[in-house]
Structure 1
């Protein structure tokens, strides 16, 4: 990466977004980088360990919005660290990897999400993650360390190879200073590692060996969708009550949405844009808007972050969100474009 990276102009800040500057960059592995940001106004960030933010930036005349969980703890609120994996087909993460460094400008939203220890009576915990799903759990364990908490935590990280392990040295150091933190790493493939004990997939038998008291723990689970589905099933089969399994929503599989009949041809009107289009092929309102050149700010595309909130003026939609709207916003007629499909003719305030 060019050390003299140019400032990326985000334009005027949007409501709920804060201009921020990158103050540091750490190359964690070949395809994972940590970017550190501070607010341009000098204020501290306000978040709970385990929460996420939306980051928005412009490059090449195009605006990108993506959601990332915060890896740093709220005890160090003068900055936040976002640990980002470069997706194979992800242009936005590729730009962040290849062109972002000290001085790069972005907008960052207020934090959201309830994948946290806050408000939960947890006596013993299991932190179970794969890949970059480690980030909210690192925020939690760093926060526990900084606050001198002695929560009993079994921390299991799954990685593809030993070269892909994230924060391995830091976790070893934390476990030395936190007597009740036990760290285990499981890699599915070898890469010259001298320790064969870390090689192999994390199946139910290995889980039972690594965490024999799993039924007494609250489980915090984060990683790719397939990993979370498998681990949740293993946890339930081991006897962990479903109500004590908490999952980071990103990558989760949405419930199948109710869809219109293929023969139904609803009209979607984007009123302020003066655009009307015919809905078809089970497209969401966001997909229809993008096809017609109507800009809707978006990020997670899963109904989690609330970035694509728009107001429904007329008609009804099937809304299959994952908590991205408050009850008050629903009552005021807001929907999420990324996970709403029209039941008939509708009008959007956009």
Structure 2
């Protein structure tokens, strides 16, 4: 099979409400039936376009090993969504491997048991829950539409069904320094619900953000990040990527494909895909089912590969650099500062502290002309 692609991302663009900090492409439906029909039309056209794109670049589908539905709020897609997706995949001869990791994003207050049961029938076996915080005030400042009661109802439901689920948590929240946010207390509470994975993001916003002046200092955020990293590692989680922690064996296979610079196909408004062998990145337009293309030359691909590997436990091999010995000297410096470790397999991997300094460490590589 020529250049097989076995990972697919789908973007569902609708939300109940537009949170004030979020910059993913999304919109609130004005007429759910019509808006959903329009989205399905878009996806039908996009699937045809994508087929042409794959063919032109010598790619073909292998049974999907990872399938991820993000957004937006995909749990709002409901029973229509699971039926539509199954029909779309069948129409384009895309099959799901028996061991496929199939993830659906779910927001508190935006799901129901009946449609989740249908999604599971379609193959969903992993969930990503948009929790962000277990602090009532933080949910309000983040402009989330759900309540703290919705959060606990959602967590209890997924705990009771013994689901494999990840929780999104956000650091650097507005007023967190003044209120002395106890993020470790929140995580201890979260662990009572038995998540297998945490995605821990630092809030990044533009300077016109509503609560921009209430954001904590960089020192506070760095301290918060390191406390969280050390706590989750003490609870048996692996810090396997800058923002991600997993119980061993529960790392996100889908996201690991991005960090390994592997092919990940994508369909949906604003979704971005990558075809490795063709060195082709593409992004879907939001108004029409067309893509914008970006071809990476060998140097750009190599730089991206290094950056992606540095930000995860994939790590980098000294042989990837222009001067192997110079890189090993730099890695030794990083090691002495506690930013990286040279492992037994010959790879250099960043520590939690190193992840926090990723951009500075990349600058070290550029300044020594190792890239």
TM over 0.5: no
Q: Which has the larger strand fraction?
A: 1
Higher relative contact order (CA 8 A, sep 6+): 2
Q: TM-score range by the shorter chain?
A: under 0.3
Q: Which has the larger helix fraction?
A: 2
